[in-house]
Amino acid sequence: MNLKKKTLKIHFIGIGGIGVSALARYYLEKGDQVSGSDLVASEIIEELRKRGARIFIGKHKEKNLSENTDLVIFSPAVPKENPELKKAKKLKIPSLSYPQALGKLTKKYFTIAVSGTHGKSTVTAMIGLILKRASFNPTVIVGTKLKEFGNSNFRMGSFSKKSPFQFLVIEADEYRASFLNYWPKIIVLTTLEPDHLDYYKNFKNYILAFRKFISHLPKDGYLVANKDDPTVYTTFSTIVKNVVWYSLKDKESNKIRKLLKIPGEFNVSNALAALRVAQILKIPNKISFKTLSQYKGSWRRFEEKWVKLNAKKFKLISDYAHHPTEIKVTLKTAREKYRKKKIWCIFQPHQFQRTYYLFDEFVQTFKEAIFENWTDNIIITDIYEVSGREDQKIKEKISSEKLVREIAKESEQKNKILYLPFRKIIQYLKENLEGGEVVIMMGAGDIYNLTKRFKK
C-alpha cells in the first residue's frame, strides 16, 4: 500500500503580497510545487525563488497557469477579470482567495488570531516567538519580516511534546472582512478605530464585522482584549464568556516597560497582549519575559539605523504607519526618544480611498504634530496607489497636494509642511540635511525602497 503523500501543484496570483507569500512558503515547506505571478519583483519574491518557487513577473497572462495545476490561490486585490483567474475557472481548477485558503488551515490547527486596527503584526510576532521559546513549535504567518524567522514573514512548525495541539499563529486582517474566513481558538483584539471605510462605509459596520468574527470562537475559546481601548471595552465586555483583559495599568506593565528594547507605550500594550495569550496556554511568565526582553522589533516597525547621504550621517527610521493614529504614535515615540534632535517626517499616504475617507483625521494629526513639535519638518509625497483597490472617482477628488494645503491652512508654521514628488525626495535631502537629524520614512507603500538608497 502506497502511503506517500501526493505533491500538489499550487499557483499563486499576487504571490509577492505579505500574506500570500507566507502561504506560498507554507506549501513549499510541505514539499508541494509552487508557481506564481506578480506585477513587480521584490525581496520577498526572490526569497521564494531561492526556495524553489517558479514565478512570473509582469503583466498577468493565461500561459503563466499550467493546465495540470491542482489549486489556485489569489490575493484579494486580484480582479475577477484577471486572465489567470479566468483560465482557472474555465479549466475548473479549484480557486481560493488568500483568506479562504488560510481559513481552511485555521480549522486544522489550534489557531491564535490577532485582530484590531493597530498592532497586529507586532503582537503576532511576539506570540509566535514566545511559543517558539516555550517549545510549542508554532507555525506563524505574520504581516512583516522577522530576523528571528530568518528575515521572513513565515515560520513552519510541527507537533510538539509540550502540547497535544499543533499551533498556528496568524494576523487576522479585517480588510473586506477577510477574517470572517478564520476559525481560531484564541482571538486577540488590540484596538478599534475607523479604517477601510471604502468597504465598511462607517465605523458601526466596522465594529459589527469584529463582533461577527469574535462569534467564531468556540464555547471554550478565549478573547484577549485591550481594556484601555474604550470601544473594545464597551463593545465586548459582556458578549464573550471567556474574556481576558490587558491594560497598561496591569501589574506587569512596569516590568515590561523596563525590559522592552522597542520604544513606545503602544508596544508595552502589545507585549501585555502576548503575555496574556501565553498565560492562557500556561507558559511560565519567565519564558515570556525573557522572549520579550530579546525582541528586536520587526521590518518597518520603527526600524532604526544610522546611514549616510553625501557623507552626512543621520538616524533613519523606517515605519509602516499609514493610519492617522499610527502616525501620531510613531511621531510621539520618536520625539520622546530623541528630545533634542531635529526630526523629519517623510510620509507616503497609502491608498487614495483611505486618504479620502480619513482626510480630516490626517489633517488634524499633522497639525498636532507641528503644534506639539513632534517633528520639525513634514514632507508628504504622492499617494501610493493600491492595485485593484482604488475608485477612479475618488482618485480625482484627492491628492497629496490637497492634503498639504489643508494642513498648512491657518498655520503659523507653514514652512514646516511640504509636498514633494517621490522622485525628488532624495535630492531634496541631499540639499537640506545637515547631519545628525532623525529622518522617519513612513507609509505602507513602496517608500521603504528609498531607505535602500542610503549607505550605512
pLDDT tens per residue across span 204-236: 999 999 999 999 999 999 999 999 999 999 999
**Grid cell at residue 233:** 471595552
- Listed residues 243, 273, 294: the one ending a domain: 294
141 with 279, same domain: the answer is yes
Average pLDDT of the residues in 371-376: 91
26 with 50, same domain: the answer is yes
Say which CATH number the domain at 184 has.
3.40.1190.10
Name the nearest CA neighbour of 158 among 137, 131, 140, 141: 137
- Listed residues 74, 97, 120: the one ending a domain: 97
206 with 270, same domain: the answer is yes
Say which CATH number the domain at 27 has.
3.40.50.720
171 with 273, same domain: the answer is yes
Name the nearest CA neighbour of 406 among 366, 442, 358: 366
290 with 385, same domain: the answer is no
50 with 164, same domain: the answer is no
- Measured CA to CA, the distance from residue 104 to residue 94 in angstroms comes to 14
Per-residue confidence band for 346, with pLDDT thresholds at 50, 70 and 90: very high
**Domain span including residue 284:** 109-294
Would you tell me how many other CB atoms lie within 10 Å of the CB of residue 361?
Answer: 16
340 with 279, same domain: the answer is no
- Measured CA to CA, the distance from residue 368 to residue 113 in angstroms comes to 34
Least confident of 197-206, 278-287, 420-429, 444-453: 444-453
Say which CATH number the domain at 388 has.
3.90.190.20
Q: Say whether 6 sits in a helix, a strand or coil.
A: coil
Quote the number of domains for the chain: 3
pLDDT tens per residue across span 398-411: 999 999 999 998 66
pLDDT score, position 393:
87
Per-residue confidence band for 301, with pLDDT thresholds at 50, 70 and 90: confident
Least confident of 66-80, 257-271, 295-309, 347-361: 295-309
Name the nearest CA neighbour of 73 among 27, 107, 112: 27
Q: Which residue bears the cell 515590561?
A: 256
342 with 392, same domain: the answer is yes
Answer yes or no: are the C-beta atoms of 383 and 399 closer than 8 Å.
yes
- Measured CA to CA, the distance from residue 46 to residue 275 in angstroms comes to 35
Res. 269: pLDDT tops 50: yes
135 with 84, same domain: the answer is no
- Measured CA to CA, the distance from residue 439 to residue 278 in angstroms comes to 36
- Measured CA to CA, the distance from residue 305 to residue 321 in angstroms comes to 17
For 347-387, the three-class secondary structure string (H helix, E strand, C coil) is ECCECHHHHHHCHHHHHHHHHHHHHCCCCCEEEECCCECCC
pLDDT score, position 134:
96
- Measured CA to CA, the distance from residue 197 to residue 204 in angstroms comes to 10
**Grid cell at residue 324:** 492617522
- Listed residues 269, 294, 319: the one ending a domain: 294
433 with 337, same domain: the answer is yes
pLDDT score, position 1:
40
Least confident of 26-35, 339-348, 390-399: 390-399
pLDDT score, position 382:
95
pLDDT score, position 145:
80
pLDDT tens per residue across span 84-138: 999 999 999 999 999 999 999 999 999 999 999 999 999 999 999 999 999 999 9
- Measured CA to CA, the distance from residue 456 to residue 408 in angstroms comes to 34
73 with 170, same domain: the answer is no
Res. 2: pLDDT tops 60: no
183 with 323, same domain: the answer is no
Distance between start and end Cα atoms, the chain: 59
Res. 192: pLDDT tops 50: yes
Q: Is residue 2 part of a domain?
A: no
Provide the whole-model pTM: 0.85
